[in-house]
Amino acid sequence: MYAQMVDTGASRLRSREEMDADEQAFQARIDDGQKIEAQDWMPEGYRRTLVRQISQHAHSEIVGMLPEGNWITRAPSLKRKAILLAKVQDEAGHGLYLYSAAETLGVSREQLVDDLHTGRAKYSSIFNYPTLTWADIGAIGWLVDGAAIMNQIPLCRCSYGPYSRAMVRVCKEESFHQRQGYDLLLALCRGSEEQKAMAQDALERWWWPALMMFGPPDADSVHSAQSQAWKIKLLSNDELRQKFVDQTVPQAEYLGLRVPDADLRWNTERGHYDFGAIDWSEFHAVLKGNGPCNRERLQARREAWAEGEWVRAAALAYADKHAAAERHSQAA
């Protein structure tokens, strides 16, 4: 997902008896469905895992602006241009809401951004794929935002107050993102043969990376078990992926597009779609930095930050000067 394979630092899930009194009380509050707030006591592992997860999520929003941002200047109508610009701007907002939430845990934005730029922090694998045609903008909204929503709706109920509140705000905005993507593809699929081919090509390139967004099967992962116990992960990767496939396949059919999976079929017994095996070697390669656009994405963010340094410094210098002047005039 936007936060993939988050390390909890746990080597195994500990039983209640192994926890000290503080930890027991903390776990009891979570089990009781209470929200943890920034000033509350929390185990160090919980805090560190949250910082990792929320910042990965924030980085994904910000890096995610780049592949779509590519097409703002090339959108084919003024209405689509405004819609895409508003959508990408929302993603910047999501990044900011999430950095805010992470900052309540005692890390600075500068630190978080630095972790991204030096490669210590990760962001979602999906944003390392290129946007080659206008139809890719539709595919991202429909599939990528669609997958994100699937993951973010349960996170609105997560145990950490600032994170859950940020998710509530994000989810309100996401539905527009998915719909504008689908609407864009619908226009292409109702258009010329060339437009429809463009849509089909986009689905073929984005389908599997979208399924990979949910991360490798984690039913047996100790990190997932720990995150679920802390209620900062609510459903397993495979559960979410299945929900996504079940929801999305009929939508593809309505568009008249073919999902690129020969093994895809409805399983009446399970009441779900069966689908083909995912190539996890590609996922791991992309995560390691070898996706088609990893270097470009990181470089773009680093450049923006480095070239903006003098601007940020100027604004601070101005604020300092004028605060000093004000103190002086008040003293006089």
Partner 1 sequence: MNDARFECLLRLGDNALVLAQRLCAWIGHGPVMEEDMAQANVALDLIGQARLWLAYAGELEGRGRDEDALAYGRDAGAFRNVLLVEQPNGDYAQTIARQFLFDAWHHAELSALTASSDARIAAIAAKALKEVSYHLERSSDWMLRLGDGTAESHARLQAALERLWMYSGELFDADAHDATLVEQGIVPAPQSLRAGWLQQVGAVCTAATLTMPDADAWMQHGGRQGRHSEHLGYLLAEMQFLPRAYPGVQW
Partner 2 sequence: MKDWPLWEVFIRSQHGLAHKHVGSVHAPDAALALKNARDVYTRRNEGVSIWVVPSAAITASAPDDKAALFEPAQDKIYRHPTFFPVPEEVKHM
Residues near partner 1 (CB under 8 A)? 62, 65-66, 69, 72-82, 85-86, 88-89, 92-93, 95-96, 99, 134, 184, 187-188, 190-192, 194-195, 300, 303-305, 307-319, 321
Which does residue 176 touch among partner 1, Fe ion, partner 2, none (CB within 5 to 8 A, set by kind)? partner 2
Q: Does 94 bind Fe ion (CB under 5 A)?
A: yes
Quote the least distance from Cβ 173 to Fe ion, whole Å. Answer: 7
Among 136, 145, 218, 261, binds Fe ion (CB under 5 A): 145
Q: Does 177 bind Fe ion (CB under 5 A)?
A: yes
**Least Cβ distance, residue 215 to partner 2 (angstroms):** 22
Give the residues across from 267 on adjacent strands: 272
| Residue 136 makes contact with Fe ion by CB under 5 A | no
The nearer residue to partner 1, 134 or 206, going by C-beta atoms, is 134
From Fe ion, partner 2, partner 1, none, which one binds at residue 179 (CB under 5 to 8 Å depending on kind)?
partner 2
66, interface contact from partner 2, partner 1, Fe ion, none, CB < 5-8 Å by kind:
partner 1
Residue 187 binds which one of partner 2, partner 1, Fe ion, none, with CB within 5 to 8 A depending on kind?
Answer: partner 1
- Binding site partner of 145, from partner 1, partner 2, Fe ion, none, Cβ cut-off 5-8 A by kind: Fe ion
Residues 23-62 that bind Fe ion (CB under 5 A): 61
Q: Report yes or no: 138 and 236 within 8 Å, Cβ to Cβ.
A: no
